[in-house]
Amino acid sequence: MKAVVQRVSEARVEVAGEVVGRCGPGLLVLVCAMRGDGEANAEALATRIAKLRIFRDDAGRMNRSVHDTGGEALVVSQFTLAADTTSGNRPGFSAAAGPDDGERLYLHFVEALRAAGVPVETGRFGADMAVHLVNDGPVTIPMER
């Protein structure tokens, strides 16, 4: 699985003008299941993200996790993270898991992040979404598992 993790002051996702998920201080996680991924990949990535120390401690260093800070997460599926741009001008997405596996693994990732103690809201899988965020820092971390 691939993810882009952004430390945010706030974030929300809308579908057709309706807010379907939001979070306050915490993480916006854009996530993509790749062909060949399984539940173990989703669980491992969720565990790593829950423990990722990208929040400031009292000394101003990035030394605290979202769990440590009591933060929240907004998780949005984004198959375009699988883009292959090695040739031509149009990205290819054949490395992304198919829709059924992608949705199943996305939901499994969300539940694994919740099981790690992080309050999670989500976007809507497969929908055309508008994602709004205030990136704190900015801090943006790409991850794979």
- Cβ pair 11, 131 in contact under 8 A: yes
What pLDDT sits at residue 12?
A: 98
Q: Of 6, 47, 69, 79, which one is the catalytic site residue?
A: 79
Question: Residue 37 has which token pair?
Answer: 């991924």
Question: Residue 111 has which token pair?
Answer: 């539940």
Q: Of 78, 85, 93, 109, which one is the catalytic site residue?
A: 78
- Cβ pair 130, 19 in contact under 8 A: no
Provide the CATH topology of domain 2-87+98-138: D-tyrosyl-trna(Tyr) Deacylase; Chain: A; (3.50.80)
What pLDDT sits at residue 21?
A: 98
To the query of whether residue 78 is one of the catalytic residues in this protein, the response is yes
pTM of the model: 0.96
Q: Of 80, 85, 86, 109, which one is the catalytic site residue?
A: 80
What pLDDT sits at residue 111?
A: 98
Mean pLDDT by 10 residues, the chain (145 residues): 98 97 98 98 98 97 96 97 95 96 98 98 97 97 95
What pLDDT sits at residue 145?
A: 87
Give, for 45, the enclosing helix (H) or strand (E).
Answer: helix 39-51
